[in-house]
Amino acid sequence: MEEIGFLGMGIMGKAMAMNLLRHGFKVSVWNRTLSKGFCDELKEHGASVGESPAAVIKKCKYTIGMLSDPAAALSVVFDKDGILEEICSGKGYIDMSTVDAETSSKISEAVKKKGGSFLEAPVSGSKKPAEDGQLVILSAGDKGLYDAILPAFDVLGKKSFFLGEVGNGAKMKLVVNMIMGSMMNAFSEGLVLADKSGLSPNTLLDVLDLGAIANPMFKMKGPSMIQNSYSPAFPLKHQQKDMRLALALGDENAVSMPVAAAANEAFKKARSTGLGDLDFSAVYEIFKGTEPSSA
Ligand SMILES: NC(=O)C1=CN([C@@H]2O[C@H](COP(=O)(O)OP(=O)(O)OC[C@H]3O[C@@H](n4cnc5c(N)ncnc54)[C@H](OP(=O)(O)O)[C@@H]3O)[C@@H](O)[C@H]2O)C=CC1
Ligand SMILES: O=CCCC(=O)O
């Protein structure tokens, strides 16, 4: 397949680009902050490093973006040296960041106006699934671009969905993360309730894992939460962004979401106490009423 461009070498972007390289793809990467040290590692695996989003688009037929939030996703497209300066007929941009439908539509319209094609493709799954090529890809937009990029999606993910028009991928992702964030809050409350009422949180994990609400998230995050350990796989600031965007989607559709609203408050409180760069499971500290003893 043609060389693939990759913009945004954060937790997810770096793992995904590395995975493409391991599977024999040629990859050209770019990150806003070059000094973060990702370059050498990726270069060792054969990546070339572009000096701007425009430079990467110019070089590659297909370019993927994995940026933190709507402001970042818009910036790489519309700002100086951005995607719009080089996107043209025959080139495709695939935004895999988690953003709202409005952001995605804005990008789609601008890219199409320049003759390019656009696909939104946010993902379910975190750092480890990204490293292992086990993401769930929620794409929507240009079906021709989806078909063309499938060989790369097959490496990045265990399943790809095509959900129709631009916006549907973003909405699906926000619904999923709204449920996940609400679950993390209920789980944290339960761990605190078990502890304060004289039960072992570890035994609670064993009981949960054998019942109808067993799930990979409780199983994976529970033991480290009990150890007050929150090394970031999915940063809490991004989970709070997703709750905020999901609540806005609820507003638009007049859907009452009291559970998600309460969860959002807890994530906001966690951010305001300096936990934003830790894993989103650090919201547990808000329910414990303590500061984390380690990251
Ligand atoms: N981590 C996870 O488990 C998952 C994350 N996601 C979503 O994927 C996206 C990336 O997440 P993740 O990798 O964890 O996030 P990180 O915070 O690790 O990385 C964010 C990336 O966005 C870049 N960035 C931020 N602001 C700007 C800007 N204004 N202009 C250009 N680049 C910018 C950062 O560059 P710089 O290094 O310069 O700051 C960095 O490359 C987010 O939308 C997140 O919600 C989706 C599924 C799972
Ligand atoms: O957006 C982040 C999702 C994290 C996950 O699905 O485990």
- pLDDT per residue as tens digits for the range 204-214: 999 999 999 99
Ligand 2 atom closest to Cα of residue 122: 1
| The CATH number fitting domain 4-165, selected from 3.40.50.300, 2.102.10.10, 3.40.50.720, 3.40.50.150 | 3.40.50.720
- pLDDT per residue as tens digits for the range 213-253: 999 999 999 999 999 999 999 999 999 999 999 999 999 99
CATH annotation of 171-287: 1.10.1040.10
Minimal-distance CA residue to ligand 2 atom 5: 125
Please compute the mean of the pLDDT values over residues 139-165 and round it to a whole number.
Answer: 98
Three-class HEC string of the chain: CCCEEEECCCHHHHHHHHHHHHCCCCEEEECCCHHHCHHHHHHHCCCEECCCHHHHHHHCCEEEECCCCHHHHHHHHHCCCCHHHCCCCCCEEEECCCCCHHHHHHHHHHHHHCCCEEEECCEECCHHHHHHCCEEEEEEECHHHHHHHHHHHHHHEEEEEECCCCCHHHHHHHHHHHHHHHHHHHHHHHHHHHHHCCCCHHHHHHHHHHCCCCCHHHHHHHHHHHCCCCCCCCEHHHHHHHHHHHHHHHHHCCCCCHHHHHHHHHHHHHHHCCCCCCEHHHHHHHHHCCCCCCC
**Banded pLDDT at 36 (limits 50, 70, 90):** confident
Please compute the mean of the pLDDT values over residues 73-83 and round it to a whole number.
Answer: 98
By most ligand atoms within 8 Å of CB, the mutation choice from 175, 180, 184, 215 for ligand 2 is: 180
- Alpha carbon of 30 to ligand 2 centroid (Å): 23
What is the CB < 6 Å shell around ligand 2?
98, 124-126, 177, 234
Model confidence at 2: pLDDT above 60: yes
**Banded pLDDT at 1 (limits 50, 70, 90):** confident
Mean of pLDDT over the chain:
96
Q: Is the CB of 17 under 6 A from ligand 1?
A: no
Q: Is the CB of 135 under 6 A from ligand 1?
A: no
**16-20, 31-35, 63-67, 291-295: which has the minimum mean pLDDT?**
291-295
Which one is catalytic: 14, 106, 171, 173?
A: 173
By most ligand atoms within 8 Å of CB, the mutation choice from 33, 39, 67 for ligand 1 is: 67
Instruction: Report the pLDDT value the prediction gives residue 236, as an integer from 0 to 100.
Output: 98
Instruction: Report the pLDDT value the prediction gives residue 141, as an integer from 0 to 100.
Output: 98
Please compute the mean of the pLDDT values over residues 270-288 and round it to a whole number.
Answer: 98
Model confidence at 295: pLDDT above 50: no
- pLDDT per residue as tens digits for the range 155-201: 999 999 999 999 999 999 999 999 999 999 999 999 999 999 999 99
Distance CA 65, CA 73 (A): 8
Q: Say whether 173 is catalytic.
A: yes
Instruction: Report the pLDDT value the prediction gives residue 37, as an integer from 0 to 100.
Output: 65
All structural domains of the chain with their residue ranges = 4-165, 171-287
**Banded pLDDT at 292 (limits 50, 70, 90):** low
